[in-house]
Amino acid sequence: MTTPIAVIWILLSIPVLVFPIYGVEQNIRLQYSLVAQIVAPLAAALCCYMAAIVFPKDDAMRKVWGLLGAGVLCWGVGAVLFALYPYLYDGQETPYPWYSDIGYLALAPLVLTSFFIFMQNLHVAAPLWGRVVALMVFIGALALSVIFNLNKFSDLNSFIPYVVTLMYTLGDPLLLGGTVVIASILAGGEVARPWWLVLIGLIFYYLADLIYTYLVVQEKYATGDVIDIGWLLAFGFIAVAALMTRSIFKE
């Protein structure tokens, strides 16, 4: 089941990459990407919950996969709200910030919480080198995030948009640092393999967010851009990881 889902996921993501190359009309690209950005996280969340219920109710891994699924689901709900706004308000562009940003922002703390429980369940502390590398990665990612968001901060004139932008600025670097910490404690083997896919997915997610922020600041982004494939692949990796976990522990 895992391999066919992965193949289907890739095939459904490819149009986002090739549409701009072949000059497909912008409205088609926009609509396809909006739908894909809703379906991908919701499907990935379902896969995470399918993985979670394989574990007993008192098993920490049930909480881990449940929280991971909740984070992805929240992002999907944010995508739904983002896509609905133009239909609810006569084609107006979705404002910033809006309720959709609550969903987008919820992913990072939920995933980080799942990481914390995952580490507790393994009873393994991150090695010193892992913590040092994670700190360096966090500082580097934070520096990039601050640089890319400086123009946003200068344009803000009220408290709520400032707080939302600050949360975006901090959220992705924290998520990337947490990803490095988890990578430092993982070994090889069948059980660890799905988690490597989760981490690869989160790296794709981070890169998509980073490039998106840069393009928005440069006023060069529109929904349907090639960069949208980063989010689709991110949730695809997480979905496949969840299905692999379900397959391993269901036996």
Instruction: Please name the fold of domain 2-250.
Output: Rhopdopsin 7-helix transmembrane proteins (1.20.1070)
- In this prediction, the residues of the chain whose per-residue pLDDT falls under 50 are none
Question: DSSP string of 206-225?
Answer: HHHHHHHHHHHHTT---TT-
Kindly report whether the global pTM for this prediction surpasses the value 0.85. Answer: yes
pLDDT in tens, 123-165: 888 999 999 999 999 999 999 999 988 877 777 778 898 899 9
Is 90:36 a contact under the CB 8 Å cutoff?
no
Which value, to the nearest 10 degrees, does the dihedral of the CA atoms of residues 106, 184, 64, 97 take? 0
Residues 77, 152: Cα–Cα separation, whole Å: 24
Residues 228, 101: Cα–Cα separation, whole Å: 17
**Looking at residue 154, what is its pLDDT?**
73
pLDDT in tens, 14-42: 999 999 888 899 999 999 999 999 999 99
Question: How far is the CA of 107 from the CAs of 59, 235, 240, 249, in angstroms?
Answer: 22, 12, 18, 25
Structure token digits, residue 175: 């998520």
**Looking at residue 251, what is its pLDDT?**
61
Structure token digits, residue 244: 């692999």
